[in-house]
Structure 1
Amino acid sequence: MVELPRQDLPALTDSAERLLADLDSVMKQEMWSQAPATKTRNTLTILVSWLGADAPLLETDIRALVDGRSLKFSGRRVTQFLETRGLLITDAEFRRDAQQKRLEAQLAAPPATIAQELSVWIKAVRGEGKWEHTGRTYQSIARYWHVLDPILKGWLADGIESLREITRDDVKRAIGTRKGTPARSIHIVMRNVFRALRHEGVIFRDPTRGLVFAGINKTPPSVPSDRLADVLSHAQNDFQRFVMVLVCVHALSGTDIRHLLLTDLDLSRERLTVRRPGKRHIIYLDELTYRCAGLTMSTLRKDRIRDEAFEVDDPLHLMRLFGISAQTAMRYITAAHPERTAKLPR
């Protein structure tokens, strides 16, 4: 390994010698090739000769040394080596993400109030706001900005000076400028922006709250009424009748039905939310579905548990499946299998 002439360098301290020995050990263990090993050792030697190794080194000093001298020095490898040992003070400005710089440049275009509001949104999405969560990357935020930018320009052209002025109708009109997936993307971005601003206390009212992108807002065609009536006549209870309607009228799958929650049914708005991977589908209830769903969810739940009790005479199974107490499970088993309960352990 070719080293720099030492006559022009200050004498190395003991800590500097140990740090260089540590570097030599790493390079040998990782089997660095000759060229990068020489450049890295030369760079670190000069740094610790002049600055010592008792305190962390500034990344700006390393960059100042290697700029214009790339053939002899290796600032990147030295930076990595020092950072792993806690001996580097990073240059935050130099390390700023390229997408971050681009977003900051784009924030200079809107009026000051909106720019400040959007800065709060970006900070919240990054996980640096009031609510702790895993933040998104600047690259992800840049994709959101790509969707938001044309809408924002339209609002600015209309004289909007703050996102507090945006109404539910404004959001609907923005979504209405596109169809299909692009429209859904606008809905997702709008919801993300205004939820974040609401959580951060920048706005008092979220115009996207309760706004659902449903795609096609019409009831799918059902099976003929005579055939449907024949199917429903075979239902043994209210729960089965409701499930049959969901399948025959709205074509829900078994997976859809198994994932339904009590809170998914909103009778006041005459709709049912169906949870699917990565999205939610809204069913607008027709008259028949509404009547079947108008039964109390408590009744439907009891019917479901009773059906399971008829199929499996195991109280432990009911307790695990439905989260009910031992006493409640035994009550269902007794009702479903009166002739067997005397044999069951209590």
Structure 2
Amino acid sequence: MDRDWSRVARLTADELPSLTSESEQVATEFIRVSRRQSRLIVPDPHGHKASLRALRIVLAWLGAEAPVQERDLRTLATLDPNISGQRVIWFLAERGLLEPDPALRIDRDALTAEEIINQFPVPMRDELRSWTKVLRGEGRRKHPPLTSHRILVYLRIVRPVLEEWAKRTETLKSITTKEFKNVLAARKPGTARAVHHALRSLFQGLKQERAIFRDPTRGVTLPGVVTLPASVPSDRLAGLMGRARTPLHRLLLALVTIHALTPTQAARIHLDDVDLTRGQLIVRHRYHRRTVYLDPLTVELLTDWLRERQHTWPTSGNPHLLVTSQTALDIAQPPVSGGLLQHVFEKIGIPARTLWQDRVLHEAQLTGDPVHLMRLFGIAAETAMKYIRAAHPEKTGRTTTR
């Protein structure tokens, strides 16, 4: 059973039991480590005080003779904004004084996907589980599995449509082609294409698993809309690096604007993927890896960030290159969230996707070779040709005669 910490969380420092000598040593060591790590990317004195309060509560109440339950610390943190458990969890885990909670090591995206599925009627719920089983590569026919995050993206795309249908039916077996077309017609072209792709995957998966008799999406197509990328005006790019405020931000900006990495790819880079001696790093794609050869500026920015990372979190066990005050001390060792990385570019004023496109388009203008783009940026042939067409319309333009 979980402990009820609601009353204890309200106690002041004077009202708590006195610490034992062993507990006092642990608290003193935590203060010493916190002071050493006080120079954060974003200074957070409140976080240190809140963490120390969490540690004092559990040590005063439970002592340091046995490992502290991770669940107790996380429960405490939900009861009072002046209590924070993340740094304490990392500190205790480093010293073998933490009992991890296995339930917290589960896949968050998979848990969120299950919550979405559970909101629908039972028959539709079972059909959605059959679909996600196919997406994980566990269906009747073997397919390359999708990540939990990608499956969650699909569910979020189809969720509004399924909520509409669930108002009048409990199963997807009753959905007709006309209803599917009406869904597409009611949406803007960009949204309609995403819904079209996701619903086709849903019904094709159910047909494969023999959960439905016919596929209402079969034969339904959308007119092709090709949007060619455009260059970013030079005045928007001027002084771009000066807008980045920290070593982390400057390195991320260089990886996107010079080497055309997406923020998600940058977040997945491990420390072991970096070779400063050779000026190289490994970028992890979905099915392969590629080597990126760094220019002198990026090497300099990477060195600055590694120095900053080591100084701020010298004992961090997170294997990822990019970390923050939250992920560096998280025993689950997660990568930096995509939302945080996108926020960096929001502050700069240009979306990461726009900068990525500008870099690839610039390379396409210089070379005109789609194979070169595929090798340099790890993109698909179709994507490479799109940028070649945008950069050299005179070479790839087509004319039709009536």
Give the TM-score range, shorter chain.
0.3 to 0.5
* Higher RCO structure, 1 or 2 (CA under 8 Å, sep 6+): 2
Between structure 1 and structure 2, the one with the greater Rg is 1
What is the TM-score of this pair, normalised by structure 1? 0.43
